Amino acid sequence: MQASSEKKQRKVVYLTFPPESSNKPVVCDLARVYGLDFSILKAQITPRHEGQMTLELSGPAEAFEAGLNYLRDQGIGVTPAAHRISRDEDSCIHCGVCTALCPTKALSLDIETRLVIFDDEACSACGMCTKVCPVAAMDILLENGVM
Ligand code: SF4
Ligand code: SF4
């Protein structure tokens, strides 16, 4: 069995780009230079204008801090974004795909009704269900007033 000595982090961050940085490939550098995985959740970037982007970032803790400091050095505003997960009850087709990978059992199958139950109190907001749901019923909602 292999054990990783590096502690991993996963965070959602909200970035604000000054006009002079809005066309630089700084987000790609997070993967290329710092080895971080990223997923762009929302973005509004226009060349030569101020831009905003919401990113989900994951990677080893040390690289994480170095990557965020790199962004700050480029004049980019970095704000950690609190987030939670919600389910669009009208979209869910109760296929059960998400129940197999939900680590906290916040998504589970009710044997009697054959419906998938979402317990948001048990949800750790890891975001895994949002990547596999075939109808995008699971969504990441950002709190603290960002995009
Ligand atoms: S994967 Fe999506 S559609 Fe399927 S049960 Fe889960 S939330 Fe519902
Ligand atoms: S975000 Fe993670 S913990 Fe929450 S319901 Fe989805 S898979 Fe389960």
Q: Rounded to whole angstroms, how far apart are CA atoms 21 and 141?
A: 27
3: in domain: no
Characterise 80 by phi-psi region: left (phi > 0), alpha (psi -120 to 50), beta (else): beta
Claim to verify: residue 52 and residue 88 sit in the same structural domain: no
Q: Separation of 27 CA from ligand 1 center, angstroms?
A: 31
Count of domains forming the chain: 2
* For ligand 1, mutation pick of 86, 138, 139 (most atoms within 8 Å of CB): 138
Claim to verify: residue 75 and residue 126 sit in the same structural domain: no
Task: Tell me what pLDDT residue 63 has.
Answer: 92
1: in domain: no
Whether 119 has a pLDDT exceeding 90, the answer reads yes
Q: Separation of 30 CA from ligand 2 center, angstroms?
A: 25
Q: Separation of 17 CA from ligand 1 center, angstroms?
A: 35
Q: Separation of 132 CA from ligand 2 center, angstroms?
A: 11
147: in domain: no
- Least reliable range by pLDDT among 15-24, 63-72, 110-119: 15-24
Strands (E), 1-50: 8-17, 37-44
Determine the structural domain holding residue 41 and report its residue range: 8-80
Nearest atom (ligand 2) to Cα of 105:
8
107: in domain: yes
* For ligand 2, mutation pick of 83, 97, 126 (most atoms within 8 Å of CB): 126
Task: Tell me what pLDDT residue 116 has.
Answer: 98
**pLDDT tens profile 23-54:** 778 899 999 999 999 988 778 877 777 888 88
**pLDDT tens profile 67-96:** 999 999 999 999 888 788 999 999 999 999
Q: If you search the block for the tokens 């994951």, which residue do you land on? A: 58
